[in-house]
Structure 1
Amino acid sequence: MTVALPPEALQVGLAVDVVAFAMHAGELQVLLIERGTLPHARDWALPGGFVHPGEELDQAALRELQTETAVHLEPRHLEQFYTFGAVNRDPRGRVVSVAHLAVLPHGTVEVAAGGDTLRAVWHPAHTPPPLAFDHHAILHRALLRLQIRLEYANLALDFLPDTFTLPELQAVYEAVLNRTMDKRNFRKRLLAQGMLSPSGERRSGVGRPAQLYRRAKNIKTAAL
């Protein structure tokens, strides 16, 4: 038997918002857009928008990210992490947003305004500008989720190229956790976990060439 939805249920909008992180020059940054339309025109916000009929949520998240920021690289990691549905979160009416956390490839990912956005810019994730809607709350919860994922899903490795040094890996942890870590204890703990394997290569630089590591073959990428 088909049950008809009450009229009020048909008036709820479904949206996605994307918190896209990347490491730039040793700093954790988040991708923000300057809105070009009301409400909150000319305010900074997370990329996002309404889900199209028949569209999967992850497809909608990728579409909005690529449309509004001109990012054409696939995220190294993409997951739904929370649903935001406060009654008055959007002045246009009742809108429920499924927030997604994304990790973009290592290095400075080039971005540009697209769709109805005025600008797309990387900002320090821990000190963002004022944000539209409830996007400060979304970013805050995304940071907490990211910090948890460092510990049980090895998500830090998705911020790095295929081979990396231990100091580069420590820099990711420190940038995400927003605090410094003891070098000796960090190295000892990470190597004991078995998540890394030596690549057999070294990187030349100032002083002794640094050992390069990669993700161990028995370690999977972070699960969705």
Structure 2
Amino acid sequence: MGTLSLPPQATRVGLAVDVAAFAMHAGELRVLLVQRGELPHARDWALPGGFVQPGEALHEAALRELRTETTVELEPRHLEQFYTFGEPSRDPRGRIVSVAHLAVLPHGTVRVTGGGHTLGADWFPAHHPPRLAFDHAAILDRAIGRLQLRLEYANLALEFLPDAFTLPELQTVYEGVLDRSLDKRNFRKRILAQGILAASGERRSGVGRPAQLYRRAKGARTAAL
């Protein structure tokens, strides 16, 4: 049997990953961006990402780029592929297809710095980001849409919170992702009726009446694909 090879007309395509990594900071949905240090789009803000190495799985490439470009060391609470971007003109360096990933970083992940070839890294309001390099604005828009969808059928909101949380904190996640206010009474009724939460038996002291803490109920659906 002869050696298999690409036909002469086959297009050489570069394979890359880009990561839309989210977290809640001060009641607002934030996205992690890096400032590029190389052409093209030098000094512009972009999603963390880069080329896939030979023999590397796509999720491994996404994690590597996230750690290398932003110095994030914690494992994401959630990581998934959500779309492939392959417009011929999306990258001036040539035909490059990017497999976009959505990540939710653990509660309390705040301080980041740039690494690798980046000039810096920082958190930005996900719904109002700065001008982004390449087609990363389109990637971010689709990532937010995916995140909003998975709030409803995969309990992804719980991945933004610590193990024990209050209902107002959970509502803040929903409002931050959806970018709109929700009625407190209706939200509480709807969430508790789903059976995804269990009272922890603990309360958090603060201003006014101590708030009941909740956890994910045993057997509740997770954010897994």
Judge same fold: TM > 0.5, yes or no: yes
2:174 is aligned with what amino acid? Y
Is the Cα–Cα contact under 8 Å of residues 196 and 221 in structure 2 kept in the other structure?
no
For the Cα contact (< 8 Å) 2:35–2:121, is it kept in 1?
A: yes
Question: Which residue in 1 is equivalent to 2:182?
Answer: 181
Could you tell me which residue of structure 1 aligns to residue 48 of structure 2? 47
**Root mean square deviation, CA, Å:** 1.1
Deviation at 1:108, TM superposition (A): 3.8
Output the amino acid matched with 1:29: R
Matching of residue 30 in structure 1 with residue 31 in structure 2? yes
Structure 1 regions of 5+ residues with no counterpart?
Answer: none
Most deviating of 1-10 and 48-57: 1-10
Give the C-alpha shift of residue 8 in structure 1: 5.2
SS at match of 2:190: helix
Identity over aligned pairs, percent: 78
Pairing 1:156-167 to 2, within 5 Å after superposition: 156-167=157-168
Q: Secondary structure at the match of 1:180?
A: coil
Alpha-carbon distance between aligned partners in 2 of 1:195 and 1:185, rounded to the nearest angstrom: 16
The 2-side partners of 1:223 and 1:101 are apart by 12
Find the residue that maps to 1:21 and give its secondary structure: strand
In the other structure, the counterpart of 2:144 is: 143
Moved more, 6-15 or 53-62: 6-15
Deviations 1:128-173 (A, max 9, x none): 0000000000000000000000000000000000000000000000
Question: In structure 2, the residue corresponding to 1:11 is in which secondary structure?
Answer: coil
Equivalence for 2:117: 116
5+ residue gaps, structure 2, are: none
Secondary structure of residue in 2 paired with 1:198: strand
Alignment partners' CA distance in 2, 1:101 and 1:6:
34
Listed one character per residue, the Cα deviations across residues 91-121 of structure 1 (whole Å, up to 9, x for unaligned) are 0000000000000001243211100000100
Distance 1:49 1:28 in 2: 24
Structure 1 segments, 4+ long, off by >6 Å, are none
What is the DSSP-based 3-state SS (H/G/I as helix, E as strand, rest coil) of the residue aligned with 2:64? helix
Aligned to 1:86: 87
